[in-house]
């Protein structure tokens, strides 16, 4: 078996704003395996400024993986505990190599285009006009669940946008989620959550920065708005620490980004821990290319969640890898009549 990796820069169609800044490009790395005439491909979508493995030796560790690929999936996975983005790349690449076809890692009714995955429409931060334009576009495209990034512009403006949505669409017509990416301070968070809850929101993701477990526990206990942990899960490796976090904070939901939490095995572990405490969960992508989004979507379908998932990021880039994935009427489908096109990857 031979292994290699290739760096790839994804370019955003439109600069995309979050409370951590504006994104114009996204780096990712593809892990390529060759064994006889078979090819396996995985994506190591480390996220600058967010991933625990955003460190100078990331590519050096990828080289190490390629030089030690004979160790096999299990051994490599356990030796990469500090590199979750490489862990999922290893999982994907080996599953791809073993699969009947390169990109059907988790065969199901989804990969046969017999069922779809409901997803939320993602609204990026910007001025009031830009955000309203995005919202109208998503509703026109058939989305019944919208997730709005908040925390970077004036809070009263964000409330005004939510108010204008609710004037036209009731909670039964349109589910609204918001994502603060840790933008609120602990001292102001509860008051802001109370004001947000007036607009019949489903939930808010990560209202305060991760690592403030006591403060987050206080919010989850007292907030009139359901709270979902997101960044809070990053860098939590052991089963004991996961159990401790969920026991102390006791959130209403957790959000699983497999690239940031040790891949599919990591997501399985969090789901198991959450379900013992009746904590809800859903899965989202982390701006991977269609290679990673494909694997994460196929995995997600097998988990049988009834909630809208956060898997609508494939159309954000000008130079994504063409694939059978397509968003239609607020759901992700895998069109079996469409083909993968890897020419972008080879350039």
CB distance 130 to 167 below 8 Å: no
For 18, the 3-state DSSP assignment is: strand
Q: What is the DSSP letter of 81?
A: T
Q: pLDDT tens across 38-49, in order?
A: 999 999 999 999
* Cα(151)–Cα(161) distance, integer angstroms: 13
* Cα(296)–Cα(287) distance, integer angstroms: 11
Predicted local confidence at residue 5, as pLDDT: 97
pTM of the model: 0.95
For residue 88, give the nearest of 36, 34, 38, 52 by alpha carbon.
52
* Cα(66)–Cα(31) distance, integer angstroms: 8
* Cα(310)–Cα(251) distance, integer angstroms: 19
Q: Is 149 a catalytic residue?
A: yes
Predicted local confidence at residue 260, as pLDDT: 98
Predicted local confidence at residue 346, as pLDDT: 62
* Cα(320)–Cα(288) distance, integer angstroms: 9
Task: Write down the catalytic residue from 26, 192, 242, 257.
Answer: 257
Q: How many residues does the chain have?
A: 347
For residue 284, give the nearest of 203, 193, 342 by alpha carbon.
203
What spatial distance separates the first Cα and last Cα of the chain, rounded to whole Å? 23
Q: Is 13 a catalytic residue?
A: no
Task: Write down the catalytic residue from 61, 149, 192, 242.
Answer: 149
Predicted local confidence at residue 211, as pLDDT: 97
Predicted local confidence at residue 255, as pLDDT: 98
Q: Does the domain made of 117-346 have the CATH classification 1.10.1740.110?
A: no
In words, the CATH class of domain 2-98 is alpha beta
In the chain, domain spans: 2-98, 117-346
Residues of the chain with pLDDT below 70 are: 17-20, 346-347
| Beta-carbon contacts of residue 327 (< 8 Å; ≥ 6 apart) | 119, 141, 312, 314, 315, 333
Predicted local confidence at residue 217, as pLDDT: 98
């Amino acid at each position: 078996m031979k292994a290699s990796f290739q760096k790839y820069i994804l370019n955003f169609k439109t600069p995309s704003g979050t409370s951590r800044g504006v994104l114009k490009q996204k780096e990712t790395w593809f892990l390529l395996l060759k064994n006889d005439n078979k090819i396996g491909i995985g994506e190591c979508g480390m996220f600058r400024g967010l991933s625990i493995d955003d460190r100078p030796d990331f590519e050096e560790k990828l080289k190490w993986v390629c030089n030690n690929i004979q160790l096999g999936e299990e051994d490599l996975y356990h030796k990469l505990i500090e590199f979750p983005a490489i862990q999922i790349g290893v999982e994907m690449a080996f599953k791809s190599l073993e699969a009947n076809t390169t990109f059907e890692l988790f065969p199901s009714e989804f990969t046969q285009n017999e069922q779809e995955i409901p997803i939320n429409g993602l609204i990026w931060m910007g001025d009031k006009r830009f955000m309203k334009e995005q919202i109208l576009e998503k509703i026109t495209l058939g989305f019944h669940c919208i997730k709005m990034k908040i925390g970077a512009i004036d809070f009263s403006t964000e409330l005004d946008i939510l108010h204008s949505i609710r004037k036209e669409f009731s909670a039964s017509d349109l589910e609204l989620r918001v994502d603060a990416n840790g933008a609120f301070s602990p001292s102001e968070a509860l008051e802001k959550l109370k004001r947000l809850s007036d607009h019949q929101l489903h939930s808010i993701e990560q209202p305060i920065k991760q690592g403030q477990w006591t403060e987050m526990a206080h919010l989850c206990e007292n907030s009139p708005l359901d709270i979902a942990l997101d960044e809070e899960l990053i860098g939590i490796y052991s089963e004991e620490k996961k159990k401790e976090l969920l026991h102390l904070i006791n959130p209403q939901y957790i959000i699983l980004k497999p690239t940031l939490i040790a891949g599919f095995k990591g997501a399985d572990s969090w789901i198991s821990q959450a379900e013992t405490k009746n904590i809800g969960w859903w899965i989202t992508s982390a701006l991977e290319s269609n290679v990673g989004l494909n694997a994460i979507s196929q995995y997600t379908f097998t988990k049988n969640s009834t909630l809208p998932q956060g898997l609508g990021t494939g159309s954000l880039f000008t130079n994504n890898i063409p694939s059978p994935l397509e968003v239609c009427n607020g759901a992700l489908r895998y069109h079996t009549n469409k083909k993968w096109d890897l020419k972008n990857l080879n350039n």
